[in-house]
Amino acid sequence: MRQARHTAITLAGLLTLALVVNCSGPGSSGGDSVLTSPIVVGTVNDAPGFDTGTINQSGFDIDVMKNIGAAQNAKTVSTIIDYASRESGLLDGSLKLVIATYSITPERNQKGIDFAGPYMVSPQALLVRADDKRFTHKAALKDKSVCTVEGSTGSRTKIPGANMATQVQTTQDCLNLLDRSDTDAVFSDALILYGYVNSNPTKYQVVLPGVFGELQYTGIGILGGHHADCAKLDELVSAFLDNQWAQDFKNNFPVAAQKYSGADTSTGDYQSIFKPTAQDMQRLSCKL
């Protein structure tokens, strides 16, 4: 079943954030609504299951983006960015929202980034080659090379004994290294990795989900100080979770949906593991 949830922000932290946002933070001025047409949304295009493609993007993140646009009767314009540019695009105003496998963290809140949601929960895991049978327990990572994406939460996770010096711009860059045996494993959100397994079922496997790192709560990034817009996005995410989430999950993450079908009662089904709860939203969203 889903592991215990981690309390993201302490009371003291919330008070500090409130002072930063209200007094001197980048989100201190609410300004105009960011939910008016056109809504410029930062997305990535190298996360199968979440978002792939350039002209005809598809994936769970794109479904979320389109759902928001339809609900607001507004045009959404996708701008493809890299992971390291998510904060800067919101802070400099070039993006109104970021829907790009964007985990809600206190560090990002402290930079002035607020979040609506989450709309997905995922443990972190490792992707290895399908024929690599070494990684059955955590000690197997000792002295192994692990690739992460610069600017991601995975890049800030420390796996004891592993060599995590390799940080690249995209997940695909990590996979290129893995394919050449220039790294032993890729570390990221399990669902991002399952997306690559879905695209290459005989080439890769996901191992040790939830063993390293923390649960990742994927939300919609918005500049702090737009609390009314954030609250509106929360309403839209709640409706999405109730009405569309399960079908979109099965469409975009068929391997994960099959693996967590509920047949194994020790792990639970995909909804109990990956679908956020109302308590998650109450605890993590719209803090600034």
pLDDT band at 9 (very low <50, low <70, confident <90, very high): very low
Say if residues 41 and 99 touch (Cβ distance below 8 Å): yes
What is the reported pTM? Answer: 0.84
Mean pLDDT of 197-222: 94
Look over the chain and give the mean of its residue pLDDT values, rounded to a whole number.
89
Q: Tell me what pLDDT residue 218 has.
A: 97
Lowest mean pLDDT, pick from 28-42, 161-175, 262-276: 28-42
b/e string for 100-121 if b means 16 or more Cβ within 10 A?
bbbbbbbebbbbbbbbbbbbbb
**What is the rounded distance in angstroms from the CA atom of residue 148 to the CA atom of residue 138?**
17
Q: Residue 133 has what pLDDT?
A: 95
Which pLDDT score is estimated for 10? 37
**Residue 53's pLDDT is what?**
86
Q: Whole-angstrom Cα distance, residue 188 to residue 170?
A: 11
Q: Is the pLDDT of residue 96 over 50?
A: yes
| Tokens (6 digits) for 212 | 């390293």
Token pair recorded at residue 131 = 């024929």
pLDDT tens-digit series, residues 125-169 = 999 999 999 999 999 999 999 999 998 999 999 999 999 999 999
Q: In the predicted model, is pLDDT for residue 28 greater than 50?
A: no
- SS3 labels along 226-267: CHHHHHHHHHHHHHHHHHCHHHHHHHHCHHHHHHCECCCCCC
Using pLDDT thresholds of 50, 70 and 90, give the confidence band for residue 254.
very high
pLDDT of residue 168: 95
pLDDT at 151: 85
Any residues with CB less than 8 A from the CB of 248 and at least 6 apart, and which?
A: 60, 63
Q: Which pLDDT score, from 0 to 100, does residue 103 have?
A: 95
For residue 276, give every residue at least 6 positions away whose Cβ sits within 8 Å of its Cβ, in sequence order, or none: 117, 118, 119, 120, 121, 217, 241
pLDDT of residue 210: 93
Answer yes or no: is pLDDT of 271 > 90.
yes
What is the bridge-based pairing of β-strands 113-122 and 124-129? unpaired
Strand duo 204-207 + 185-189: pairing: unpaired
State CA 245 to chain mean position distance. 15
Q: What is the pLDDT of residue 31?
A: 55
Asked if residues 159 and 147 have their Cβ atoms less than 8 Å apart, the reply is no
Query: Is residue 209 within 8 Å of 125, Cβ to Cβ?
Result: yes
pLDDT tops 90 at residue 275 = yes
Helix (H) / strand (E) element for 129: namely: strand 124-129
Q: What angle do CA 127, 249, 217 make, to 5 degrees?
A: 65
Q: Which residue has the tokens 């443990």?
A: 123
Asked if pLDDT for residue 5 goes beyond 90, the answer is no
Q: 122: which residues sit within 8 A by CB, 6+ positions away? A: 189, 190, 191, 192, 215, 216, 218, 274
The reported pLDDT for the residue numbered 264 is: 81
- Spatial separation of the C-alpha atoms in residues 234 and 253, rounded to whole Å: 23
Query: What is the band of 267 on the pLDDT scale with cuts at 50, 70, 90?
Result: confident
Q: What is the reported pLDDT for 2?
A: 52
